[in-house]
Amino acid sequence: MLGVLAAVAIPKFINLRDDAATAKGAGILAAVHDSTNLYRSGCMIRGGDVEEPLGSAQNKFEIDGIRSSYSGSCYPARSNSRKVSNARQCFEVFNSLLNEGKLPFILYQWNAKGGSSFSETVSSTSLTASQDAGYQLFIHQRSGFHSYCHFYYIDDVDLTQTPYFLFDGDTGRMAQGVMDVTSGVKWADSIKLYN
C-alpha cells in the first residue's frame, strides 16, 4: 500500500515543484515585460525621444537612470550608451527594470563560465551547465544583433517548461511564454516567436 502511494504521490509532488519554479520564472519575466511597457509609456508622456546614430549617446533623456534606445523608440536601453550590445548589458537593462531588488535577486555573473551565449545555437549542454552552476537566468544575444535580449529563466525549472522573455530594444517587439529547451535554442527559431 505504501509503495503504491509513493509511486503516485512522489511524481505529483515533483511536478508541483517544477510547476512552481516555472510559475515563479514566468512571473518575474512578466514583470520585466510590464516594466518595459511602463517605461515606454513614461517616455511617450514626456514627449518621446529622438533618434541618433548608433553609439552616439548624445541625448541624455532618461527615466529613473535608464536611457531609451538610440532608435528614438522610447524602449529601454543601457544607461550610458543607449544600446544593448552584449549579455552583460542585457542584464543591466533587465535588472534596472526590476527596480534594483524589488523582486527576487536574479543571479547573473558576467565573465563567469556559462549564463550566456552569442552563438546561433545554444546547446542543451550549455543550458544545463549554466543551471547546474546556479544561474537563474540565461541570456542569448546573437552576435551582430545588438538590440536583442533573449532571457530564459532556468532556476530550478524543468527545461521542458522554461519561461522566456524576448526583447528587441530598437523596435520594442517582445515575446513571452514557456518553451521546451531540452534540445537547445536556435536564434532563428527564437526570432519567429516575436509578435
- pLDDT tens-digit profile of 112-137? 556 888 889 999 999 998 888 888 88
Give yes or no for residue 103 having a pLDDT over 50: no
81: confidence class by pLDDT, cuts 50, 70, 90: low
Region label for 69, one of left (φ > 0), alpha (ψ between -120 and 50) or beta (otherwise):
beta
Region label for 156, one of left (φ > 0), alpha (ψ between -120 and 50) or beta (otherwise):
left
122: closest CA among 194, 186, 175? 186
Strand partners, 150: 140, 166
pLDDT of residue 109: 56
Give yes or no for residue 44 having a pLDDT over 70: yes
Give yes or no for residue 61 having a pLDDT over 90: no
Whether pTM > 0.85 for this model: the answer is no
